[in-house]
Amino acid sequence: MSYQKITVIDFGGQYNQLIARRVRECGVYCEVVPYRKITVDGLKKEPPAGIIFTGGPNSVYLETSPHIDPEIFEIGVPVLGICYGAQLMAYTLGGRVSTAPTSEYGKTETFYDKKCVLFGDEMPDSAVSWMSHTDYISEVPEGFEAVAHTAVSPVAAMQNVRRKLYATQFHPEVNHTEFGLKMLDSFLKNVCGCTGDWTMESYAETAIREIRERVGGGKVLLALSGGVDSSVLAALLAKAVGSRLTAIFVDHGFMRKNEGDEVEAAFRGWDINFVRVNAAARFLNKLEGISDPETKRKRIGEEFINVFEDEAKKIGRVDFLAQGTIYPDIIESGAGDAAVIKSHHNVGGLPEHVDFKEIIEPLRMLFKDEVRALGTTLGLPENIVWRPPFPGPGLAIRIIGEITVEKLEILRDADAIFREELEKSGVARGINQYFAVLTNMRSVGVMGDFRTYDYTVALRAVTTTDFMTADFAKIPYDVLERAAARIVGEVRGINRVVYDVTTKPPATIEWE
């Protein structure tokens, strides 16, 4: 795809994805590349419009720490170093990096030289930035000047205007840094000369064209889960290849209330072969007597493969298998020196006997928010595009203990009420994931003149940027009160509602 590109060089920073997302918010395409895979010859051959160095956990003056070829600063491409990236720039070019007399973490008052292009006249003389460092730049390299400072750091930012080299000890990509997005935008537009040609409309046009060129007259098979990624991929493929796409939607019976019907309705009228397989009985049979969450996941995964394989055999040979892999999946699978967060192996989980020649992953360079934007561009309804994330095993891992038809119905109704109240109140868009969990705990209650002994439902809602860490959502009490009252009043079998106020870590977002 022929967009202006920024190369984000990853040195193991925890905010590498966030930097890339912020760049794209500015309308500029970027890719995250591990520092070990960067070569000066490669950058010279296909020079990006600019380069950004991420942060990282190391001390730059140690031999074992990540370093970079100094020639990268001589090829004429603008560079912005952030945190470790700033220290790396200073150290590599002859400056001094030392252990700070006082570490800086969190919100820090920072004083700016507004003559620097990153800041500009419209910024105040001082504002809050987000710091996270033990080392600091104690002496700038020759030709550089400090353009920001704090009470602790004499070089909170530095520049060499002639060479188009800039660095910030703080993290402009983090929301806590006031005017941080403006700083990044200024680097991209005023230093790198980017015009902001990255839009979902242009991406959709290019992606459709590329899919058509690659697929030609071939047939494409897609396992449609009903989640955002696979649904958007189905819409994109429908635009590209039409009736040569077969989308198999395996309804395992663990979907949210009315979800299977909503997925089917979303693709009614599209020029594709949509196959819905109602396999609830098969999956329930496989989970009979099973309480362990890992066993649940394994059996559901195995049965999904069996069902998908049975349906695929009816179709015969296909040329391409489409997968909804997105960019965080690639980054999180070990793209840098950061620890591998989780392995994404969509291919490894698919049936061995499905006959296809190649795999295509048209969403592999998009973040989740971009996938949603693409879905809107392609004409998918809001209830599909803005559906909260949903695990593959579905409600089976939101029911603690053994799965029964009765428990599924209880949870569906409670979950639907919680989601409805959040959406009606207008707070849902500010929450990244929200759902109900049916615990295996029963307790005494009183309803009218009668004693009850029924289940407890736990409500879970979190805010997060990357799903690796998360905070519980600060839902207004009146919204929680309405949801709890409706759940107890309308859902038979529940007499107690609790709200989960645990962060991740130490907890996970899901309960199982």
Sequence spans of domains, the chain: 5-191, 200-385, 399-499
At residue 367, the pLDDT reads 86
Angstrom distance (rounded) from CA 250 to CA 226: 9
At residue 340, the pLDDT reads 35
Provide the Cα torsion 194, 200, 202, 207; round to 10°.
120
Angstrom distance (rounded) from CA 67 to CA 73: 13
Contact call for residues 354 and 311 (beta carbons, < 8 A): no
Contact call for residues 2 and 209 (beta carbons, < 8 A): no
At residue 313, the pLDDT reads 83
At residue 337, the pLDDT reads 44
> In which region does residue 136 sit, left (phi positive, over 0), alpha (psi from -120 to 50) or beta (all else)?
beta
Q: Which residues of 218-234 are buried (b: 16+ CB within 10 A; e: fewer)?
A: bbbbbbbbbbbbbbbbb
- Residue from 82, 100, 91, 208 nearest 150 by CA: 100
Structure tokens of 425?
């109140």
Same topology between domain 5-191 and domain 200-385: yes
User: Which SS3 state, helix, strand or coil, does residue 485 take?
Assistant: helix
At residue 179, the pLDDT reads 95
Q: Please identify which of the residues 171, 192, 344, 370 carries the catalytic annotation.
A: 171
The CATH architecture annotation of domain 200-385 reads 3-Layer(aba) Sandwich (3.40)
Tell me whether residue 83 is one of the annotated catalytic residues: yes
The domain 399-499 is classified under which CATH number: 3.30.540.10, 3.30.300.10, 2.30.110.10, 3.40.50.170? 3.30.300.10
At residue 347, the pLDDT reads 33
The domain 5-191 is classified under which CATH number: 3.40.50.2300, 3.30.750.24, 3.40.50.880, 3.40.50.150? 3.40.50.880
Q: Please identify which of the residues 26, 104, 116, 173 carries the catalytic annotation.
A: 173
pTM: 0.74
At residue 170, the pLDDT reads 96
Provide the Cα torsion 250, 256, 258, 263; round to 10°.
-40
At residue 35, the pLDDT reads 94
Angstrom distance (rounded) from CA 167 to CA 169: 7
Tell me whether residue 423 is one of the annotated catalytic residues: no
Beta-carbon neighbour count of residue 360 at 10 Å?
23
What is the mean pLDDT of each successive set of 10 residues along the chain, which is 512 residues long? 86 87 93 92 95 95 94 97 97 95 92 95 92 94 97 96 97 93 97 92 91 93 87 94 93 93 89 93 94 91 86 85 83 46 38 70 88 93 85 92 96 97 93 95 83 93 80 96 97 96 91 91
Q: Please identify which of the residues 26, 83, 116, 194 carries the catalytic annotation.
A: 83
Tell me whether residue 171 is one of the annotated catalytic residues: yes
- Residue from 229, 160, 202, 177 nearest 392 by CA: 229
